[in-house]
Structure 1
Amino acid sequence: MTQARPRHGPRGLTWLVGGRLAMTAANAGLMLLAALVFMDGATFGSFAIAISLQIVASRAVLLGLDQGVVRLHTVAQDRTEPVRAAVSIAGGLGVVLLLLGAIVAPLQLGTVRWPIVVAVALGAVGSAWFDLGCAIVLARLRYRAAGLLTAAMPSVRLGVTLAACSATHDDSLLPIVAYGAATFGAGVVLLGAVVRRFGWHAGTEMCGRELHYTKWVGMSDAATVLSQVLALLVLKRCGQDAEAGRFAFAMQAVQVFVAMFVAFYQSLLPRAARLGGIDAVPIFLRQSLRMAFRLALACAVAACVAALVLPMVLEVLRPELTAFGPGFLGLSAFAVVMFFEAPLGVICQYLLRPRLHLLALLVRCAAVGGLALWLVPGNGALGAGLAQFGGGVLGAMALLWLVLGALHEAKGPRACAAS
């Protein structure tokens, strides 16, 4: 009987968490320096918008291929074929987006200037290609390499962008283009290395199969992002701008926990893809939930410390944000729930049923939205934090019910054969 021994588990998780925390620190440092030192208010606003659009567009190019390639390459007869299919699809979508950017950039789109369009197109394609390259490295259980790549790219991008900031005036858009160009360069280099190693040509059947699988993963990514911003949108809709500002700051403060969750999920995915059989799932879940408990406990302690220390710092720097604590604690509790949800999400991938995870995320979205509409009008940021936490709990319960049902269904034929 195959056992789910996490040969690279804790050590691999350490590398991935370290890489994600380094990425978070580099990105946060860049935004802080840009806002306080190098850019005026209008330019920084354009910079923040360009980065947000880049993230959204990169998800459209990636289309869940980063997770799909990790799972599908373990079930294909030729394990390199899913890699080549993912490279072909992401490469084609990236070229389409670049051509679209080249067409749109010369046009006058209201207040949107052409450097922003160029930065979004370059950055989105580069980010998608880089993430896919890291996923392919991770699929081969190269945890250290994946962690180092995750840390290196934003550090190089930080240096390139700050160099552009130093060479221009505070109202120049050149740093925005430099940010996108650095991201694009990193993506081209990493995906080029993958193409040299595995090639890029894949059959239409494999490409179709990969797209059919990853469409659910892509929709799950979109639902995840939506569930994380719904409460903030309700705050804005209710006209509570001051509360929305505090809650937005709290959302930025919990990005460290989100980075740890992403690293944890990424470390579990290749291990789940290599489970020898359905009988190995309980062992995998026990081991993963123990790791989830440790990470959740560390985040809970860190959140309590931050809730005590940060208000004293903000009292000096930004007094209007000192009351961010209630929303921050609610979001931190939401992040803690996500750690326990991660092993269940990767089991959906192991069962080749990613739509189950999407269904649970839709439950989470509906719950967060409904609770926010109920709690926010009278409680502000506190109500938004409670809505995030309550929606997270209900979504996790829905995922647990769906996964248990799928596991029972998968074991059914084996039980009948044994009897």
Structure 2
Amino acid sequence: MKDDTLKKLKILAESAKYDVSCSSSGTVRRNVKGGVGNTVGGIGICHSFAEDGRCISLLKVMLTNYCIYDCAYCINRRTNDIPRATLSVSELVDLTMEFYKRNYIEGLFLSSGVVRNPDYTMERLVRVVKDLRTVHRFNGYIHLKSIPGASRELVDEAGLYADRMSVNIEIPNEASLKLLAPEKDHESVYRPMGYIQQGVLESAEERKKHRHAPRFVPAGQSTQMIVGATGESDRDILHLSSALYGRPTMRRVYYSGYVAVNTYDPRLPALKQPPLVRENRLYQADWLMRFYQFKVEEIVDETHPDLDLEVDPKLAWALRHPEQFPVDVNRAEYERILRVPGIGVKSARLIVCSRRFGRLTSFDLKKMGCVMKRAQYFITCGELEAKGVNELYPERVRSLLVQSKSRKKQNDGQLTLLFKEEPA
């Protein structure tokens, strides 16, 4: 690799690190005769983990970090004095192929700053993925960021070569977006989202008629929102996420805790560190909506517009609704068992299947993966004699669980300190 190309790569990889919307693709792109590589069962993800525990790596890079926009929250904003670089289409294609052949990566995550106009930038991105697929016969995973405001023709062409596409909303509220990024609006984001959705649905219909019809963005689309840069409540954010998940092709909504990269801008909050706990709680709430059959208003409402930072959203809901408990795991339906703190989707399914062959005890639940330290206050089963949430009252249960969590953190910290001191 030439020194100049390596220098560009370092700059552009650093500029791309704030985009967190890399995840399991859920796509299958098998190798073909004369092709290079494959993507099977979600393999090809940036710094994530496969089901067997392997760490998967993805070349995460920008085509350029020059940008015509001056968004207050972005490190690559036009007025920032930072190192700038641009990779040519051929340079980026060659980098990807060389890294892949050396087994450094298993795919490509490609984004870009906007230069000249959205269509000019999108056209260059399309050229990269098209060359990889058609010229170099690359069958690895490709996640492509669509440029807000790009034309439908370019989005449609990009979808033929990418496994997943995404358009970042960034700021959940239109007024807040106008404050921090006056040159942008939500319409320019939702429009390409609609193009991607329509392309996926049309492709699915076409493949029902013709088995070998080309696939369009087989892993669907994703988006990202910045958390903490503006004053939206968690309720506002989750309502938007719920609406996005109503789209048939939306696979993931990512939440990125605001990082103060432009501290000089008075429009931005003065945060000492990113709101990582809040970010984590939003992901947990997102999981409840997608896999635990929770509605937004059950997680957050007018009385509680923000998530509890001390306990996870599922436990917070259970403490607010003690009338729903205890749940008899030997008799209750699956949906009720799923709402018990400490019992996940896999454990709930195992409970429903196993209780047909005998009465379950707390020992059985532990073997199934239930976290009995939490679940014991919300269930009845076999010989379990622990007092429930109604006998101890929600405030007492909350206090016990928070104290238990604090003690665990202290013990973990002591063990870490012990191990750090040992080498000396």
| Length-normalised TM-score, structure 2 | 0.29
**Relative to total residues, which structure has the larger strand share, 1 or 2?**
2
Q: Indicate the structure (1 or 2) with the bigger Cα radius of gyration.
A: 2
TM-score by length of 1: 0.30
Which has the larger share of helix?
1
| Higher relative contact order, chain-length normalized (CA < 8 Å, sep 6+) | 1
